[in-house]
Amino acid sequence: MKAIQFSEYGGPDVLRIVESEAPHAGTGEVRVRIRAAGVNPSDWKRREGQYRAFEDVLFPAGVGVEGAGIVDEVGRGVTSVAIGDAVFGFGENTMAEQAVLSHWARKPANVSFEVAAGLPVVSDTATRALDQVGVAAGQTLLVSGAAGGVGTAIVQLARLRGITVIGTASAAKHHYLRELGAIATTYGAGLEERIRELAPDGVDAAIDVAGSGIIPELIRIVGDAAHVLSVADFSAEQYGAKFSHGPPVDPARLFATIAELCSAGSFTLRIDQTFPLDRAREAQEVSQLGRVTGKLIVCVD
């Protein structure tokens, strides 16, 4: 099978499309013939070696942690799906023609493989961040970097919880944020003043999605570091804020819930661009620019 791999840490040029042996589903796993795989910042951060201090990478290493496709092998003990079922979920090395998923849910018929492939990371990260930051219905949340995949999910899930959301993004993306139900504003100089105008009663919590070094400013805006959280800035805890990371909690249940919301039209995921498997390197380059609205997807089949 064809797969994307890298054999050393480095830039996008270390990525290769190779012929590799197909994996097999272990106990409690399923193997999927991948139709689409989500692109995430963790893909290129791992490739660059940013995670080497706390994560072992065995070379040659595959790429991708989420995908959607058709089950073609069922591991021991799996009874919830059968060969031929369409599913999406978390797995390993999902930018390949076949991959093993460890957690999954059925893909609704009215949700595309491309959208389904982009759901696992954003829905898990957004749900965990909202649970950990300490914000409740009737309160106001500031989301820094709200137009990307995770930001898109945080805005929508927060609104479903009855939370008022202020989201930062470039001016060109403000219409998109308003469509999601957020109050839109720009990032950069003068943010504290703009937030005071938009939320004269104050902001109860803030989530940093962009990892742009904004944690001290968010703490000043909220007034309490305990209600400031980042999903991207490893230095957040140095300021007394929170850094959100896995492992995921009951992802199969979460995926089933997000699938229902997508099917009903209560949650949407914009696909910014799609790339064929042999252009996975380009997909990571675009991701690193940090200007994605919604999600990038690699289409495999």
Residues labelled as active-site residues: 51
H-type helices in 199-279, by residue range?
215-222, 251-264
Separation CA 300–CA 276 (nearest Å): 6
Amino acid at site 88: F
Ramachandran angles phi, psi of 90, nearest 5°: -85, 145
Q: Name which of 193, 191, 195, 197 is nearest 213 in CA terms.
A: 191
Strand order in the sheet with 2-6: 15-19, 2-6, 61-62
79 vs 92: CA distance, rounded Å: 21
The sign of the torsion formed by the CA atoms of 221, 222, 223, 229 equals: negative
Task: Convert 212-224 into a string of H (helix), E (strand) and C (coil).
Answer: CCCHHHHHHHHCC
Q: What angle is formed at CA 281 by the lines to CA 290 and CA 298, rounded to 5 degrees?
A: 80
Contact (CB, 8 A) for 96 and 34: yes
Distance from CA of residue 180 to its chain's centroid? 17
| Residue 193, CA distances (Å) to 10, 56, 76, 188, 199 in order | 40, 44, 58, 11, 10
The torsion defined by the Cα of 263, 266, 272 and 274, in degrees rounded to 10, comes to -10
Answer yes or no: are the C-beta atoms of 130 and 161 closer than 8 Å: yes
CA distance 227 to 140: 11
